[in-house]
């Protein structure tokens, strides 16, 4: 009997296992993860209910499908000659291997970064530790104004904590358009979040964070959200090619080692919405869909993931959504009726809509995503006099 092992029971790994079964794979299927918890959704970890883990699928579903879970155990190494996966004292002989090992949170390389009150958020144990720290009160210093940092800052403020966000850039979400960053800044400042922009952390003390300008910010807890690094150790030990983005795969998730595949956040994948070549797309929805595509391929039904990437972020009861992947040279246009708490925007590349985003406008984002790949006049996108439904009809008939 054929045996496939999947290392990493996150969104991509679980989705791949389910897809393999749904596409007729009848061999042995083992899902391995160092995390002892049954596979759970990661996005809710930064939400108020983060301590209650939400399963990706019901636990009994794995048994129904004959998917063996090996949780709380890490992979020590893989022998590429015998195709043996070693798990402590145990070992598994496999015919195919899927690496969905994900990413690890980056740490600060400054004095004091290893103190017990300096935390990151990647898994259930991190969320548990953060919940305990938040329950004990502030002040809180968040390092990094990306989505994770901002979500945690918003959660802490809603719990009544004193919050300061330290960001090396001139505004939050600096990878996106300046107007989005400034509206996000206003949203948080209006609710009491303080910002130290254009600053870096020099050291972390027992009760404070010291910045590069010698400013000292009181801190009972420090949360670091300064990006992630792909977990590549296992892939490299097997001899799989990696690049500065992750594990190099083709459009179907295949690596250059014929029996090894990769999916999810760790994969450096070609995708029609990526500008400048293959790369990682670190979003939950993408991990689910990429995992499903790679799982189908492994079951004998080659499938490519080509859908526009989708990401969302909840802050102060408002949901930011983005569909598509804008490039640095794309033009961003914002609807005239936009405010710091509600807006809709579009990215254009040679007059073609390549991405849309919105805050607190789920229906409009849902309609606007149908404009992706179509040419649209800038005036129509900016103006608020033409409903999106009518705009879509106009674009499709021109």
CATH code for position 207: 3.50.50.60
Q: Does one domain contain both 100 and 246? A: yes
Whether 239 is in a domain gets the answer yes
C-alpha separations of 72 from 8, 59, 329, 352 in Å: 11, 15, 44, 48
Residues 53 and 79 in one domain: yes
**Range of the structural domain that residue 282 is part of:** 3-104+228-298
Q: What is the DSSP pairing of strand 352-359 with strand 343-349?
A: antiparallel
Predicted local distance difference test score (pLDDT) of residue 48:
66
Let me know whether 199 and 261 are in one domain.
no
Q: What is the pLDDT of residue 283?
A: 92
Residues 135 and 209 grouped into a single domain: yes
Tell me if 303 is assigned to some domain: no
pLDDT at 73: 95
Which of 266, 298, 330 is the C-terminal boundary of a domain? 298
Number of independent structural domains in the chain: 3
User: Is the residue at 359 inside a domain?
Assistant: yes
Sign of the CA dihedral running 295, 301, 306, 308: negative
- Quick one: 57 and 99 in the same domain? yes
Q: For residue 310, is it within any domain?
A: no
Please tell me the pTM assigned to this model: 0.93
Q: Are residues 155 and 170 in the same domain?
A: yes
| pLDDT, block means (10 residues), the chain with 398 residues | 96 98 98 97 80 91 97 95 94 97 96 97 94 94 97 96 97 95 96 98 98 97 96 96 97 98 98 93 96 98 97 96 94 91 94 96 92 89 68 65
Same domain, 216 and 194: yes
Domain boundary among 224, 257, 285: 224
Closest CA relative to residue 77, chosen from 237, 242, 184: 237
Angle at 35 between CA 34 and CA 39, to 5 degrees: 120
Q: Which of 269, 298, 327 is the last residue of a domain?
A: 298
Residues 34 and 100 in one domain: yes
Report in angstroms the alpha-carbon separations of 47 from 51, 185, 236, 332, 375.
Answer: 9, 19, 35, 29, 37
ω into residue 139 within 30 of 0, thus cis?
yes
Same domain, 53 and 99: yes
- Residue 306 tokens read as 């080509």
CATH number of 335's domain: 3.30.390.30
Q: CA 98, CA 261: separation in Å to the nearest integer?
A: 5
Confirm whether 307 is domain-assigned: no
Q: Specify the pLDDT at position 376.
A: 87
Q: Within a domain: residue 306? A: no
Residues 306 and 90: their CA atoms lie apart, in Å, by 38
Does 39 map to a domain?
yes
Residue entry with tokens 């002892």: 36
The reported pLDDT for the residue numbered 383 is 74
Q: Tell whether 16 and 74 lie within a shared domain.
A: yes
Both 289 and 327 in one domain: the answer is no
Could you tell me if residue 168 is inside a domain?
A: yes
**16 shares its domain with 87:** yes
């Amino acid at each position: 009997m054929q045996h496939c092992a999947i290392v990493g029971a996150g969104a991509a790994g679980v989705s791949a296992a389910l897809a393999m079964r749904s596409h007729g794979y009848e061999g042995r299927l083992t899902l391995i993860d160092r995390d002892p918890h049954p596979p759970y959704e990661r996005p809710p970890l930064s939400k108020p209910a983060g301590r209650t883990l939400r399963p990706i699928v019901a636990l009994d579903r794995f048994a129904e499908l004959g998917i063996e879970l090996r949780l709380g155990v890490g992979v020590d190494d893989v022998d590429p000659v015998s195709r043996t996966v070693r798990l402590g004292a145990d070992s598994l002989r496999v015919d195919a291997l899927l690496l969905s090992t994900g990413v690890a949170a980056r740490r600060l390389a400054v004095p004091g970064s290893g103190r017990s009150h300096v935390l990151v958020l990647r898994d259930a144990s991190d969320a548990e530790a953060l919940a305990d720290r938040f329950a004990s009160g502030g002040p809180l210093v968040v390092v990094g104004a990306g989505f994770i940092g901002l979500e945690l800052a918003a959660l802490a403020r809603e719990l009544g904590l004193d919050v300061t966000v330290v960001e090396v850039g001139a505004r939050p979400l600096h990878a996106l358009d300046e107007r989005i960053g400034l509206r996000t800044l206003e949203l948080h400042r209006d609710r009491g979040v303080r910002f130290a922009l254009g600053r870096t952390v020099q050291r972390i003390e027992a009760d404070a964070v010291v910045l590069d300008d010698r400013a000292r910010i009181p801190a009972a807890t420090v949360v670091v959200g300064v990006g992630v690094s792909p977990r590549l150790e296992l892939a490299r030990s097997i001899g799989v090619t990696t690049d500065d983005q992750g594990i190099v795969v083709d459009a179907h998730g295949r690596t250059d080692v014929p029996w090894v595949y990769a999916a999810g956040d760790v994969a450096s994948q070609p995708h029609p919405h990526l500008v400048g070549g293959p790369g990682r797309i670190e979003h939950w929805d993408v991990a689910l869909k990429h995992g499903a595509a790679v799982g189908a391929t492994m079951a004998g039904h080659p499938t490519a993931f080509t859908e526009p990437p989708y990401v969302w972020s909840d802050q102060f009861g408002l949901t930011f959504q983005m569909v598509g992947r804008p490039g640095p040279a794309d033009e961003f246009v914002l609807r005239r009726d936009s405010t710091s708490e509600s807006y809709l925007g579009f990215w254009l590349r040679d007059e073609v809509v390549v991405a849309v985003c919105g805050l607190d406008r789920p229906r409009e984002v849902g309609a606007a995503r149908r404009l992706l790949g179509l040419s649209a006049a800038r005036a129509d996108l900016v103006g608020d006099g033409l409903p999106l439904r009518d705009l879509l009809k106009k674009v499709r008939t021109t």
